[in-house]
A and B are shown apart, each in its own frame.
Chain A
């Protein structure tokens, strides 16, 4: 079946620094990749999605590029803010309606 591997655990950064959260995936189908963000005590919400190889996708200052050659869809931001503290999930969609998520990466931004 499909699988997703993310940067594990907690990433702690000082405000204003860049961040990259890793995501690699396995699927036998043409992949559709997602990043969801979940703030404390809230529901997950879509941040980014892409199925186009080597094209950068951006939203709310975050960006990611799908690289099918390396099965990766890393999430980046050039300057993190306190409000970016949240749990981030990478997901891959395959041939049916299912979406498979990674275990999530918690980002904590300090002042």
Chain B
């Protein structure tokens, strides 16, 4: 089965600090995604990528940046973390609209 890993699994950050969430996939999928999950909002897309060097804005990109340095790695960067960014973040990989997305185990982020 497809493998997507995330690090760290849990993170406590301070308001105004910089946070980097990392994602690695060994599926050789072209597309990678970052979502956040909040009760009552479901899964919301933050950024996604079509391949190394590309990043695209999703539905809620404000306050987040993304970086795709290679086929395998996709990072989500919070330059100035705020308490409203406290959430569970999921990374996923897939090969297109019709393809299954494979999710990582998630990162729980608490911004104090």
A residues sitting closer than 8 Å to B (CB atoms) are 1, 32, 34, 42-46, 49, 51, 89, 93-104
Contacts and interface: CB of A to CB of B under 8 A. Distances in A.
Nearest to B103: A43
Contacts of A42: 105
A111 B100 CA distance: 33
B43 A97 contact: no
Contacts of A34: 100
B43 A94 contact: no
| Candidate in B31, B45, B50, B103 with the most chain A CB atoms within 10 angstroms | B103
B110 to A, nearest CB: 16
A62 to B, nearest CB: 16
Contact of A49 (B50, B59, B100): B100
Given A1-B59, A45-B103, A98-B48, 11 more contacts: A32-B97, A42-B105, A43-B90, A43-B103, A43-B105, A49-B98, A49-B100, A96-B97, A101-B44, A102-B42, A103-B40
A43 B106 CA distance: 7
A97 B103 contact: no
A100 B103 contact: no
B48 A101 contact: no
Contacts of B94: 97, 99
Contact of A44 (B31, B50, B90): B90
A32 B100 CA distance: 11
B50 A97 contact: yes
8 contacts: A32-B97, A44-B90, A93-B98, A94-B97, A97-B50, A98-B45, A102-B42, A103-B42
Given A43-B90, A43-B103, A45-B103, A98 B97 contact: yes
Contacts of A100: 45, 59
A95 B106 contact: no
Nearest to A46: B100
